[in-house]
Structure 1
Amino acid sequence: MKVVANIDFDGDCREAFTTYAKILGGEIRAMISNRDMPEMAEGVPEDRLDRIVHAWIDIGDQALMGQDMQDFSGRKGYSVTVSADSVDQARAIFNALSEGGDVLMAFEPQSWSQGFGMTMDRFGVAWVIDSPAAG
């Protein structure tokens, strides 16, 4: 069994997932827009045809899905957590996701971790970045 988080966007899913694939070393498996499915896009306004209806990134043995919502109502009550293999990897991911966003908790050592931080990326997605336990 695999449990996969699915993130809603307001028209910037393609850009976000391209960015996430680069930062997290993932491979985009799917990036399907309304325009790619003409049989289902009937009645979709022209300015929404390039919105993503299904995006999928494989990241190691994990995955992340997303889509642009036709009636996006924002995000509340969730975050995506990355448990990195090293403190250097965690710091690099944290710094890349923080670019253009808002740091919610600075990346620094904690009693349980060599490095831990929280950030809201430029797409409005909350991320928790953790590294291996402190020695």
Structure 2
Amino acid sequence: MQVNPYLHYNGNCEEAFKFYEKAIGAKIGVIMHVEGSPAAEHMPPSMAKKVLHAQMTIDGEVVMASDAPPEHFEKMQGFSVCLQAEDPVEGGKRFAALAEGGTIKMPFGATFWSKGFGMCVDKFGVPWMVNSAPE
């Protein structure tokens, strides 16, 4: 069994995935749009170019997502997507990339449990934690 986060975006899923591809080296495997899918006849025309389903991997770990219809979108909260980096320098770089244009909740730095840890919300509203190996 595998546990994978499934994120719901407010109409900018594809933009977010392309950002993660550049910022942290994510590999996009699937981006399926509403238009051209069997779901199109059940969705409003405004959703045609939106993402029905997307999948990417970050260092081999799968994250899935889609665009939520506007009337169903809810702000992401109550969780964080956590990246574990063996090297604190690499962790710091990934943290800085994710935080660009977003909000830093806890700057990346040494803690009592880690050589580097930080929390941010990216410009798409996704909460992230980046943690590096313990001392």
What's the TM-score bracket when you normalise by the shorter of the two chains? over 0.9
**Partner residue, 2:5:** 5
SS in 1 for 2:95: helix
**Partner residue, 1:67:** 66
The normalised TM-score by structure 1 is 0.92
**Partner residue, 2:123:** 122
Q: Give runs of aligned pairs for residues 64-103 of structure 1, distance below 5 A.
A: 64-70=63-69, 71-103=72-104
Provide the rounded CA distance (Å) in 2 between the counterparts of 1:21 and 1:86.
20
The residue type paired with residue 55 of structure 2 is: W
User: Would you say how many aligned residue pairs link Structure 1 and Structure 2?
Assistant: 133
1:15 is displaced (CA, Å) by 0.6
1:48 is displaced (CA, Å) by 1.5
**Structure 1 vs Structure 2: percent identity of aligned residues?**
33
**Partner residue, 1:105:** 106
The unaligned stretches of length 5 or more in structure 1 are none
RMSD: 1.2
The unaligned stretches of length 5 or more in structure 2 are none
1:47 is displaced (CA, Å) by 2.3
The normalised TM-score by structure 2 is 0.92
Provide the rounded CA distance (Å) in 2 between the counterparts of 1:84 and 1:5.
18
Provide the rounded CA distance (Å) in 2 between the counterparts of 1:43 and 1:53.
12
Provide the rounded CA distance (Å) in 2 between the counterparts of 1:64 and 1:21.
12
Q: Contact 2:55 / 2:65 at 8 angstroms: preserved in 1?
A: yes
1:59 is displaced (CA, Å) by 2.1
The residue type paired with residue 7 of structure 1 is: L
